[in-house]
Amino acid sequence: MTDGPSNDQIELNKNFLDGFHNWLYCICVVTFDLELGQALEATYPRNVDLSKQDISNICYLAFPDSNSGCMGDTQYTIRLETSGNEKCPKDYSEYNSKCAKHLQVDCSYFLGYVYFRQVKDITLPRGYLQKSVILLTFLPFTNLFSKICTAIAHEYFENGPDCFQNICSKIGEWPLPMPGSLINLNLLDQDFQLYVPTSADCTVSPSLALVGETKDSNIQTCIEDFNLFEVMQSLLSHIHLLWELVITSEPIVIMASSPAHCSSMVLALTR
C-alpha cells in the first residue's frame, strides 16, 4: 500500500493545471483507425473533461475534408461548440473587459489549431501515417497558436509522446494573457512574443499590427490582428453581399484551394 499524494503535491499539480489552462484547454492527438476511422489517441493533460460529443466533433474536424489527398503537412483552424459553459477553466471577465472586441473569449466554443500529417509508411497496415495534433483553447490567438502548433507537432512527430510532459509543464509556467502588454513565452527553445490589442488600441488604430521584427531568429513576434483585407482581397467586389448574408444568418458554402485558405475565410466572415 502506497501513501497518497501530499497536500503540497496536490497544490503544485493544481497550480500547474491552472497555469496551463490560462492558455490551452488541452492538446489532442487524433489518428486514423482502420476499424473506427478518426479516433482520439490521447489528450494532454490526461485528466481533462471531454464529452462524447466533444470527442466526436474533434475527431470529425481533425482531418481536412478534401479530395486532394493533402499529402505532407497541412495546417488549419477549426471552431466547435462545447457541450457546456462549465468547461471554461478560467474567469476571463477581466481579459474580456480590456481586450479588443474581436479577441474576446466565448466559452461556448473551442478554437482548435490543427497540424495534420499524411505520409506513406509501409510499416502501417494502411500504408500511410494519418495523424493530427490539435491545440484546443478558448483564446482566439490565430497567429500565436498556429506557430506554437507547428513547433509542438514537429517535436511530437520527431520524438514521440514523451515530449508532452515538458511541453505542458512549460506552458503551465507562462504569464497570464493580459491585453496591452508584450508577453514573452518560451517553448521548445523558441521564444514567442505576443501583443494582445486593447479596445483603446483598436480605437486609435484599427489595423494595429506593429511591433518591430526581432533580429533573433529564435524569437517569433505574433501580433494578434487578423488581416481581413488580405484574406478577402479576391472577393472585395462581393463584400457587401457577403456582409448581408452573414448578418442575416444565411448559409454560405466556402470552397478553397487548401484547408488553410478555407478556415481563414471562415474566420474572416465570423469576425
- pLDDT, tens digit (0-9, with 9 covering 90-100), for 13-29: 666 778 898 999 999 99
Distance CA 7, CA 10 (A): 5
Q: Establish if 192 belongs to a structural domain.
A: no
Question: Is residue 199 a part of any domain in this protein?
Answer: no
Q: What is the pLDDT of residues 53-84, one digit of tens each?
A: 999 999 999 988 755 566 778 899 998 888 76
Q: Average of pLDDT values for 167-180?
A: 90
- Contact 108/123 with Cβ under 8 angstroms? no
The pLDDT of residue 150 is above 70: yes
242 part of a folded domain: yes
b vs e for 160-176, b when ≥16 Cβ sit within 10 Å of the residue's Cβ? eeebbeebbeebbebee
Domain extent, residue 239, equals 227-271
In a domain, 127, yes or no: yes
Domain count, the chain: 2
C-alpha separations of 12 from 7, 9, 20, 140, 189 in Å: 9, 5, 12, 28, 24
Residue 158 belongs to some domain of the structure? yes
Is position 198 within any domain?
no
- Residues 23 and 109 occupy one common structural domain: yes
- Asked if residue 254 has pLDDT above 90, the reply is no
Tell me: do 59 and 158 sit in the same domain: yes
Helix ranges (DSSP H) in the chain: 7-21, 52-61, 93-98, 142-159, 163-172, 199-204, 228-231, 239-247, 259-270
Mean pLDDT over 91-101 rounds to 85
Segment 154-177 shows an average pLDDT of 92
Asked if the model's pLDDT at residue 168 lies above 60, the reply is: yes
CATH number of the structural domain spanning residue 111: 3.30.450.200
Residue 170 lies in a domain: yes
Inside any domain, residue 213? no
Q: Are residues 133 and 74 in the same domain?
A: yes
Higher-confidence residue: 123 or 158? 158
